[in-house]
Amino acid sequence: AAAQVAVAELDVADTDAVPVVFGKLRDELGGLDRVIVNAGLGKGAPMGTGKAHANIETVQTNLIGAIAQIDAALEIFREQNHGHLVLISSIAGVRGQPKAQTAYSASKAGLTAIGEGLQTEFAGKPIKVSVIAPGYINTAINRSVKTKLKADLDSGVNALVKAIDNEKQWAPVPTWPWLPIAAALRHLPQSVTRHLG
């Protein structure tokens, strides 16, 4: 069967609008099989530099907006008794990052923790939860990042699609080099990890 597509405009920071829009999409499509929580902002600033608004907006979109989407999706999935919730976190959520990345990193760490909690809650049930942790992929949010570890757009997208379709619980993408980097970030001392990623 061909996939059905429906489009709706949504500002995820408008938390009251999120369940309304999700409900309309569910009704239009006759249910929701998968929801990918992907809205993200990376406009943080070093803390203590008078730009708290940038960090607050980042957390508002990346974590509070994500919570609103997660809640709306899971309400539908619980009613249907099935569904696949995909949370697009980040390698930056594995370990706290410095300077302009601090609030972004915290928001993604929070999203990962929510995913892990939900995976425990829904273990063995027909509602699946995946946490996808992209490294650097050549998208708009990463265009200005100077690193040799950046995947080209097609490779990055293919890795994301594969991880989502496989319904993995945790997937750094692309796997190389981000799976070993994620492990290093998680377990090595900060004196070493500050040079990674």
Mean pLDDT of the chain: 90
Is residue 136 among the annotated active site residues?
A: no
Angle, CA of 162, 139 and 98, to the nearest 5°: 105
In degrees, to the nearest 5, what angle opens at C-alpha 60 toward C-alphas 113 and 39?
Answer: 75
pLDDT in tens, 73-129: 999 999 999 999 999 999 999 999 889 989 999 999 999 999 999 999 999 999 999
CA-based nearest residue to 68, from 32, 111, 103, 109? 111
Sign of the Cα pseudo-torsion (167, 168, 170, 172, in order): negative
Q: How far apart are CA 35 and CA 196, in angstroms?
A: 31
Burial of 87 (0-12, 13-18, 19+ CB in 10 A): buried
| Domains defined along the chain, listed by start | 17-185 (3.40.50.720)
Q: Give the residue-averaged pLDDT of 125-146.
A: 82
Catalytic pick among 77, 104, 136, 178: 104
- Length of the chain (residues): 197
Which pTM value belongs to this model? 0.90
| 151 pLDDT above the threshold of 90 | no
